[in-house]
Amino acid sequence: MQVAPVHASAVHGLSMRFPFYAPAVRLCARWVHAHLFSDVLAHEAIELIVASLFVTPAPFAVPTSALAAFVRFLHLLATFPWQDEPMVVDLDDAMTPAQRQAAQAAFKQLRATAGGAADEGRALVLPTAYDASGTVWTARQPTVLMRARLVRYAKAALDTLQARSLDPSFVPAVLRDGNLA
């Protein structure tokens, strides 16, 4: 099965369902690109991570602005236990419990066999209904080292946002290349 058309269709559906999804993806992708992670995190992976903020927003509400989704994207990148569990993204509420269990089993199998250079790129696992392994968009990148770097940058961006939350120019400071301090 080709996953690109299925993914594109699901993303289009999310864009129709949530008006701030597409602007949030663009803002999050801008941050990823500004910090030179474009070769590390596929655009489709960014779309899936942002989608998780909209389809499974708990314990928060669905983001009501692109900026709110961006802050939650940074928070999710910085705090999700990537090594210990997959980020299951049910794009259209179609995943059955059996599919979720299969995704968990595939993740456990992946982590049990991890350790070699071939598994190095599976540092983020994003299972969906069309990809139970969760590695279609993350099979080669990011590596564990790059995931750690991405997490550190997300934490630094969150710290910058918190420190400058009253400054009207705080968003451009986070989106710029270079030092976040």
Rounded to two decimals, the pTM is 0.86
Number of folded domains in the chain? 1
Write down the pLDDT at residue 122.
75
Ranges of residues in the chain with a pLDDT under 50 are 116-119, 180-181
Residue 68 covered by a domain: yes
Write down the pLDDT at residue 2.
86
Write down the pLDDT at residue 52.
95
Residue 26 covered by a domain: yes
Write down the pLDDT at residue 175.
60
Residue 180 covered by a domain: no
Closest CA to 146 of 121, 125, 113: 121
CA distances from 23 to 112, 136, 146, 168 (A): 38, 24, 25, 20
Six-digit token string for 91: 């794009």
Residue 116 covered by a domain: yes
Q: What is the CATH number of the domain that holds 145?
A: 1.10.1410.10
For residue 88, which amino acid is it? V
Residue 181 covered by a domain: no
Domain that holds residue 153: 3-175
Write down the pLDDT at residue 64.
92
Write down the pLDDT at residue 160.
86
Write down the pLDDT at residue 118.
43
168 C-beta neighbours (distance < 10 Å), count: 7
